[in-house]
Structure 1
Amino acid sequence: MNKVLNKVMIKAIILVMILTMSTVTGCKKKVSDTSVNEDNQAETNITDSEEQENNDTTDIEDNEEPQEVEEVVNNHEGEVINTLTGQWISEEAANRRPIGIMINNLKAAMPQSGIAQADIVYETLVEGGITRLYAIFRDFDAEKIGPVRSARHYYLDFAFDHDAIYVHYGKSTYAKDKFKEWNSPHMDGLSGLDAVMCYQDPTRVRPHSTYTSYDKLLKAWKQVGYRETNKEDFEAKFKFSEEEINLTSDMEATYIDLPYSHYEQKPWFEYNEEDNLYYRFQFGGKHIDRETDEQLKYKNIIIQFANIWTIKGDKYGCMNMTLVTSGEGYYITNGKAQKITWKKPSHYKPTLYYNENGEEIKLNKGKTWVSVFPKNRKSKITFTK
């Protein structure tokens, strides 16, 4: 009897072991099938998302790194960030030192040429209540830029702000002295560089007829032998935000009126909500680039208040201003304005801008207009119509 029981028990144990092994093998097969299905589903999802752009499917390996996908999406191979705008440009242009050009801004000089390609434009007063523009270029190829006019010494600080070469056609006595004293790199059309760097437009009357171009500037640059690349230790004046900035200020800024003086120019900006840019106006109408027939427009506006005065006893009424100091101003973008302060510790250090908490501000990516405005006229500025 015991022998019979033992045989039965042995058979039962063997049967249980066989069933257990079958179950484990079945589970393994089921897991394997599920993995294949997930891979297929992942591949299907990827293919679906790319179907409109490319009908070819691409296998995604298990060890593929996320960085590779991001590089394909960004597609900025061979490009570098432009420190003047925060935007991607060619590596060649990004590593090239900026060029700043003195632009005639009289009514007789309108419309100007090539300045729509400038990354940054400075505007401030010269003698007689008129303004001149200092347009800073890095990524450009313009065949005609101007009219080019003579230098004023305080504009050298705008050039130093960006390690830029100052391009001009003539200069004041004060500028002549400061170019030497401050060792400022510059290219003057009223010199041996005239035939290399400049040409005259026969449809314009002097002194509103002098122009330059990208090719001519690079030829003159080679001739004078100035450093062609950025300083390795140079601190960029502007810092840019990776995310779009919408100021939390309560100050609306949709119509910026900037009456520098009694002169008829009377510039202003109007905010366009469709593209979030500020469109430039002066002399009662749109400020146009002659070469593109398009209106000048900017993502950022900086108003920098400064002490500006006429030099006592100067027979031409030449002006001066204090820029190596600190002061107040406004940063304007996306329909709002916020109060800021600014500080420039020396001619060779950039002007930096700070919010009311003393933190250096970041700008939205894009082109910037800087208005260096007389401090004693700041109450004349309006921000809405």
Structure 2
Amino acid sequence: MATVGTERGAPRRRGGRRAGALSAALLATLLAGGLAAGCTSGGSGDDGRGPRESPAATRDADGQGPPPVLAVKIDNAPEARPQSGLDAADVVYVEQVEGGLSRLMAVYATRLPESVGPVRSARESDLELLRQFDEPLLAFSGAQSKLLPLIDEAPLTPVDPESEAGAFTRDPARAAPHNLYLRPDRVLDGPPGEGAATTGLREGPAPSGGTPEDEVTVRFPAARFTFTWSDADGRWQVSMDGSPATTRDGDRLTAATVVVQDVTVRRSGFRDFLGNNTPYTETVGSGKATVLRDGRAYPASWSRPAPEDGTSLVSPEGDPVNVAPGPVWVLLHSAR
């Protein structure tokens, strides 16, 4: 067992990035109880939002530009597991949050699941990470008050319980804030297609070399992920904090490729409600990486010169390192 210590539908609505004020009927619904049910507060920076203009979860009515990808911030606390919709994601990003815990961002381009969640709050790092996509939809619930203007100014379309109340549901069998779910079909008519997933990751044959690995564990300060190769599945089985990760139907979560990307995780100007500093994960720049595919580990370097660029992976010899067809998990792991 190894331990890592250190590119891969049509939108429904239109408007610009802000399509107009909430309707009186929607506002009345929120005030009647939807607002309380739709926002999270009192946890890891979730402070809810007041009424604001409704975002447009769409492209231009004349069809200019490709449809956007859907990115969803997903809770990864033990109380949130098993999550919904992770098995349908094209890419799952793992990022560090307050207290050394982890949170997930799932990106959907080729499939839209029936439900995704639990949905949780956004972070400043998300805005830089999402610049690689063209006006993506970002589904989240709550954010620190100082971060909200940055989200509103970013080149993305926010989708939260304030802007799209009808797209979110609560699971009464789970305790808040771990029970809020997004219905993707209520913000997109269909998946935007593979071309919208401009991550820079390229499918193709495996590189030469590599080291056989049966199991690899990646450690965060207060979380760990283990990927176990399954010959039967032809994929890596995912475990979180020592327990198998599954769908809500009990099926094992798997990844065709795992990218362990060594990044700088620094302090930001934000804190959660307990006063803990919110880490900022830098995804623009370059560094070392380890790519897991086909039961082998390949050393690589990653590069993302500008926020608008995707991330390229190359071998020590300078050759491209391709990913395998299927879901990709990218762990944004502190290089220190």
Aligned pairs for 1:179-198 (under 5 A) are 179-189=151-161, 191-193=162-164, 195-198=165-168
Q: Distance in 2 between matches of 1:360 and 1:157?
A: 24
Aligned pairs for 1:1-385 (under 5 A) are 83-84=7-8, 96-163=67-134, 164-173=136-145, 175-189=147-161, 191-193=162-164, 195-218=165-188, 237-241=200-204, 244-245=205-206, 247-249=208-210, 251-261=211-221, 263=222, 265-290=223-248, 292-311=249-268, 314=271, 315-376=275-336
Aligned residue for 1:170, secondary structure, equals coil
- Structure 2: gaps spanning 5 or more residues: 1-6, 12-65
- State the one-letter code of the partner of 1:282: M
Tell me if the contact between 2:199 and 2:311 (Cα under 8 Å) persists in the aligned partners. no
- State the one-letter code of the partner of 2:200: K
- State the one-letter code of the partner of 2:209: T
Q: Distance in 1 between matches of 2:281 and 2:106?
A: 19
Q: Distance in 1 between matches of 2:325 and 2:133?
A: 17
Tell me if the contact between 2:131 and 2:155 (Cα under 8 Å) persists in the aligned partners. no
For the pair shown, which has the larger CA radius of gyration, 1 or 2?
1
In the TM superposition, residue 336 of structure 1 has moved relative to its aligned partner by: 1.2
Aligned residue for 2:224, secondary structure, equals coil
Q: Distance in 1 between matches of 2:105 and 2:196?
A: 24
**Structure with the bigger percentage of helix:** 1
Aligned residue for 1:258, secondary structure, equals strand
Aligned residue for 1:192, secondary structure, equals coil
Q: Provide the residue aligned with 1:381 in structure 2.
A: none
Change in CA separation of 1:167 and 1:312 when aligned onto 2, cut-off 3 Å: closer
State, as a whole percentage, how many aligned pairs show the same letter.
21
Aligned residues, how many? 272
Tell me if the contact between 1:159 and 1:165 (Cα under 8 Å) persists in the aligned partners. no
Query: TM-score under structure 1 normalisation?
Result: 0.64
Change in CA separation of 1:270 and 1:145 when aligned onto 2, cut-off 3 Å: same
Query: TM-score under structure 2 normalisation?
Result: 0.73
Higher mean Cα deviation, 100-109 or 273-282? 273-282
